[in-house]
Amino acid sequence: MDIFAFVLLSSSLLLFFFLVSDAANTDSITKSQSLSEGMTLVSKDGSYALGFFSPGNSGYRYLGIWYNNIPVRTVVWVANRLNPINDSSGMLVAWNPIVQLLDSGNLVLREENEENPEKYLWQSFDYPSDTWLPGMKLGWDLRTGLERRLSTWKSPDDPSPGELSWGIELHNYPKIVMNKGTEKFFRTGPWNGLGFSGVPDLKDNPVYTYDFVINSDEVYFIYNMIKNSVISRALLNETSSSYERYIWVSEDKKWSLYLSMPKDKCEGYNLCGPYGNCIIDTTYSWVNGSLSLDECRVKCLNNCSCTAYANSDIKNGGSGCAMWFGDLIDIRQVAANGQDAYIQDVYIRMNASEQVNHKEEKDKQKVKVIVIVVVAIAVVFGVLLIPYCICKRTNFREKMENNVMIDQNIEGQSEDMEVPFFTLATIVIATNNFSSYNKLGEGGFGLVYKGTLIDRKEIAVKRLSPKSGQGLSEFKNEVILITKLQHQNLVRLLGYCIEGDEKMLIYEYMPNGSLDSLIFDQMKAKVLGWSMRFNIICGIARGLLYLHEDSRLRIIHRDLKASNVLLDSKMNPKISDFGMARIFGGDQIEGNTNRVVGTYGYMAPEYAIDGLFSVKSDVFSFGILLLEIISGKKN
């Protein structure tokens, strides 16, 4: 718990205390009053009680809040989770303000004459235990840095924090994350306006409604009951390693489990690893009656577990999509005859090697089959036959054999670029075919994707757009330049790729992204204190000094800006994007160009107007960048 304006006393503390008997069975205690063993505070509506208790078989005493009108003792909050009392002499003392138990189950500390009923000096809702009550915020107060997070009891006898915790992870799109110790155990997708994607259970329903709030002051998730007559609570369970919601059933006098997450192993965080696709609660087949056969083919090819596809309905020329996964069972090949009404064309996926070995049969991939009535019913109506879980990690070999053979027309590979060459196929696999989920950012040059190589090394792939204006010579210029530059404040180039129209640069991955994504985001910028901003400024200055004076080449960057400064895991800045850079040799200190490149707003006037550039041009850009870092405002 945080700093208290009321004090919890025990016989082990040599402190004097007052005993006021009339504090029992009221909702509050005031100046110099106390709450001792055998006494309780009860909220005005009688829903909650505050008092001392011993959990399970424990001999220790704790101050806690529980449901007052439920015969099964259900504790929802514990004050001294880490500091149990050894005997029955515990006491809660209020010194000056009022300590009050609200009808919501929130224990608050407030001034006696405070006109705003929701203004508290302290509240238990800011320091939850394992239970999430209606009206309780889970998330962050960005003004104070306070995080409200659930944590399990270690056991039914021990309310001290266990391994499991549940809270909101701050991102561009915040999400709920369940941690087991320091490792992620389960997470939702980001909030999509109606709920957290990927978790349909966390949405409004007839019993309660959810709300998600994100602004410059707070980021939190909250729920409220629609019917006050219904008693519901959510909690973390250490034993089952799950988030659970219960409804009180008065007729049965017990808590009934309403939902539990994760539902199955597939919801575990990173269960199947990169490129994995976890499939559970499904059959050996999948049906969608609205897709065409061509759309069905594409969907099957995009799923590495798909082994065959066909029309789900063969009437009137065929319609719909049916896909099979795993081994194909109960399929028979027959000759076409009078039984055509029962025959269906099934398109079976084959390895590329098999197709090469059977060129003469590559146009004969249709297999005539009779679909047994039981199987047909299972396919059409989606009957769940055998639930199974597939964790399939796609590697390079599988992708190349099962999907497409890339015709490699590699340009520039033979030249000595002094860094490794990556094939297009390797990059496609690493980025999951340039999935939008892996996109890190974009600019005039094109898109940047996060990728993971087969050896699990994380990379950033800069995929140049044909419209970027950076031709092959400028691309090679950037490769050669970065290869020759080695400095802690310059991004490191790991390799490159040139195939057909594709030109890509492979950099070391920077976990904290580009500087502009932090300093221009009101929520994220709060984590950048002045010392951190100062270190970033100094790091950029060191990198720029190296380019201008300390490297074996004199380099003018010509496009220094916030989006071209990347931050590593320790928030160290690294200058990137040398596609527009120029090399000066000997005593040359300035140049001239008829083609002005870079970003207006960061350009020195003499460069933007007359095409004159020098180290001073970069210094001008650095000055603009410095003002942006300090002010948090974009030029």
Catalytic sites, residue numbers: 559
Rounded CA gap, 269 and 183, in Å? 9
Look up residue 198 and give its DSSP letter.
T
Judged by DSSP in three states, 154 sits in strand
Contacts of 381 (CB under 8 A, 6+ apart): none
Contacts of 324 (CB under 8 A, 6+ apart): 284, 285, 306, 307, 308, 309, 346
* Residue written as token pair 């931050």: 567
Are the beta carbons of 87 and 11 closer than 8 angstroms? yes
Give the residue among 325, 252, 312 at the shortest CA–CA distance from 282.
Answer: 325
Phi and psi based region of residue 253 (left: phi greater than 0; alpha: psi -120 to 50; beta: remaining)? left
Sequence letter at residue 102: L
Strand residues in 263-352 grouped as ranges (E): 276-279, 285-288, 306-310, 321-325, 343-348
Judged by DSSP in three states, 464 sits in strand
* Residue written as token pair 């040799």: 585
Q: Name the strand (E) or helix (H) holding 19.
A: none
Rounded CA gap, 561 and 577, in Å? 10
Rounded CA gap, 619 and 217, in Å? 36
Judged by DSSP in three states, 258 sits in strand
Sequence letter at residue 113: N
Rounded CA gap, 626 and 543, in Å? 14
Contacts of 350 (CB under 8 A, 6+ apart): 365
Give the residue among 411, 561, 582, 430 at the shortest CA–CA distance from 506.
Answer: 430
Look up residue 548 and give its DSSP letter.
I
Adjacent-strand bridge partners of 108: 100, 123
Q: Name the strand (E) or helix (H) holding 627.
A: helix 615-631
Rounded CA gap, 74 and 96, in Å? 30
The answer on whether 457 is annotated among ligand-binding residues is: no
Tokens of 553: 């080449």
For 410, other C-beta atoms within 10 Å of its C-beta total 14
Give the residue among 607, 489, 589 at the shortest CA–CA distance from 548.
Answer: 589
- For CA atoms 216, 102, 248, 52, give the dihedral sign: positive
Determine whether 401 is exposed, middle or buried from the number of CB atoms within 10 Å of its CB (0-12, 13-18, 19+).
middle
Sequence letter at residue 143: R
**Residues comprising the binding site for ATP?**
462
**Residues comprising the binding site?**
462
